[in-house]
Amino acid sequence: MKTDKAMFQDQYRLRFTLSEKYRNAVWQTLCQAYLSKLISSEASVIDIGSGWGEFINNIKAAPKYAMDMNPDAGERLSRDIHFIHQDCSQEWPFQGDSLDVVFTSNFFEHLPDKNHIESTISEAYRCLKLNGLIICLGPNIKYVPGKYWDFWDHLIPITELSLSELLKLKGFSIHTCKPRFLPYSMSTKRHYPLFLLKMYLKMPFLWPLFGKQFFVVGIKKRECI
The domains of the chain are located at 4-220
- Is residue 220 scored above 60 in pLDDT? yes
Pairwise CA distance, residues 107 & 103, whole Å = 10
Predicted pLDDT at 71: 86
The CATH classification number of 4-220 equals 3.40.50.150
Closest among 62, 68, 64, 31 to 49, alpha carbons compared? 68
CA 224 to chain centre: 22
Quick one: pLDDT band at residue 81, thresholds 50, 70, 90?
very high
Predicted pLDDT at 189: 61
Mean pLDDT of 100-112: 97
Pairwise CA distance, residues 123 & 141, whole Å = 25
Quick one: pLDDT band at residue 193, thresholds 50, 70, 90?
confident
| 114 residue type, one letter | K
Pairwise CA distance, residues 6 & 4, whole Å = 5
pTM value is 0.89
Return the DSSP state at 22. Answer: H
CB 93 within 8 A of CB 110: no
Mean pLDDT of 46-53: 95
Closest among 170, 87, 184 to 138, alpha carbons compared? 184
Predicted pLDDT at 225: 44
- Is residue 119 scored above 70 in pLDDT? yes
- Is residue 137 scored above 90 in pLDDT? yes
Phi/psi for 83 (5° steps) reads: -95, 130
Predicted pLDDT at 148: 87
Q: Where are the beta strands (DSSP E) in 31-156?
A: 45-48, 64-67, 81-84, 99-105, 128-139
Predicted pLDDT at 192: 79
Between the two ends of the chain, the Cα-to-Cα distance in Å is 44
CB 160 within 8 A of CB 214: yes
23-27 long-range CB contacts below 8 Å, 24 or more apart? 23/52, 23/54, 23/186, 23/187, 24/54, 24/57, 24/58, 25/194, 26/54, 26/186, 26/194, 26/197, 27/54, 27/55, 27/57, 27/58
Quick one: pLDDT band at residue 188, thresholds 50, 70, 90?
low
Pairwise CA distance, residues 140 & 118, whole Å = 18
Pairwise CA distance, residues 141 & 144, whole Å = 5
Could you give the 3-state DSSP secondary structure of residue 29?
helix
Predicted pLDDT at 11: 53
